[in-house]
Amino acid sequence: MEALFGRDAVYRDGLVVTTTLDLNLQYEALDILERWISEFEGISNSHNGALLVLDNRSGEVLTLIGSRDYFRDDIQGNVNNLIALNSPGSSFKPFVFLTSFMRLGWTPSTMIDDSPVTYRESDGTIFQPQNPTRNRYLGPISLRNALGNSLNVPAFKIALRLGVGNIVDVAKSMGFRRWTATTARRSRSAAWT
């Protein structure tokens, strides 16, 4: 708002700002987010979250929570995770698996080995993807169960076999526009958390 109206107007002129936010829904959403994070942070090693509620008909923003707690430095609470350039994490895994169906003819019952793998980057750096359960591998597993359990190692192995560019192409064909093979390789987030 400062950019639009100037600092004095924002802080001294008593502007009245009307938004589409629903304050009661905002508080309820914050409580829900806190409950979910509290319940699962111990097993998921995830300590922050974000939540957005839109009215499907109008597109109005009803709640916007960018972080669990703005004032917590230990979770970088002052970062608005709804607009930050974060890794898409496991939310991108379905595109990896979908690409294997489309390009390799695999099916949900196709088996893949969930076992440790070491990958050497082009700069010589060693990378070893880990499953969310850390050092627990399930051996041969169907793609259905690998995706259902959000296993990073099978997703990584599939991405290696497909090539990141193929996964990005499929995502783009479904409406993603700002993702490139270069950014995917750089962040390793085309397949895993």
- CA–CA separation, 165 and 90 (whole Å): 18
Q: What is the pLDDT of residues 124-177, one digit of tens each?
A: 899 899 888 777 899 999 999 999 999 999 999 999 999 999 999 999 998 887
**Predicted local confidence at residue 187, as pLDDT:** 47
> Residue 109's closest CA among 162, 147, 135, 71?
147
Average pLDDT taken over every residue of the chain: 88
- Position 44 pLDDT exceeds 90: no
**Is domain 89-187 annotated with CATH 3.40.710.10?**
yes
pLDDT of residue 89: 74
Q: What percent of the chain has pLDDT over 90?
A: 57
Task: Tell me the average pLDDT across 50-61.
Answer: 95
Whether residue 52 is predicted with pLDDT greater than 90 in this model: the reply is yes
Query: Domain ranges in the chain?
Result: 2-75, 89-187
